Amino acid sequence: MNSEDAFSQQPEPLTIARMAERTGLSADTLRYYEKAGLIEPIGRSAGNQRRYAVTDVDWVEFLLRLRTTGMSIVYMQRFARLRAVGDATVADRLALLREHRSELDERIRTLRENADALDRKIDHYERLLSPQQETDHA
């Protein structure tokens, strides 16, 4: 509800609760990810409470994308470690991402094949339920 002030570059840091709201992760999971090295050490308030930068949201959203597409935490750690090193690791990160991307294609392909097989099974059950019985208006 307010804009960033003029002398600091942090627009407005988020508490862990707000970060949880924005990302959909629980506060516990955010701490767990940080401890696991998926998120780099978050800045703290005077009283030692985490204050997330708005840019951290983007990173967490990227992690969530990797998670959703089936990447394990071990692999995300690998990626996060490379990222923490800096620009020199861009090629490595690219390679990692390309590999994951192609596994993802394979996964989607497999799912589609299985979906087709399920469709055939569904057809089979529909035929079993006598030609014009309509149990369900789907």
Partner DNA sequence: CTAGAACTTGGAGTGCACTCCAGGTCAAAC
Partner DNA sequence: GTTTGACCTGGAGTGCACTCCAAGTTCTAG
| Of residues 44 and 98, the one with the C-beta less far from a second copy | 98
Answer whether 51's CB lies under 8 Å from 14's CB: yes
Per CB under 8 A, which of residues 44..73 are in contact with a second copy? 62, 65, 68-69
Restricting to residues 44-73, which ones interact with DNA according to CB under 7 A? 44-50, 67, 72-73
Residue 5 engages DNA in binding (rule: CB under 7 A): no
Binders in 69-108 for DNA, by CB under 7 A: 72-74
The encoded tokens of residue 21 equal 């709201």
Q: What is the DSSP string of 33-84?
A: HHHTTSSPPPPB-TTS-B-B-HHHHHHHHHHHHHHHTT--HHHHHHHHHHHH
Distance CA 119, CA 127 (A): 12
* Smaller CB separation from a second copy, 17 or 97: 97
Of 3-11, 18-26, 47-55, 88-96, which segment contacts a second copy by CB under 8 A? 88-96
85 part of the interface to a second copy, by CB under 8 A: no
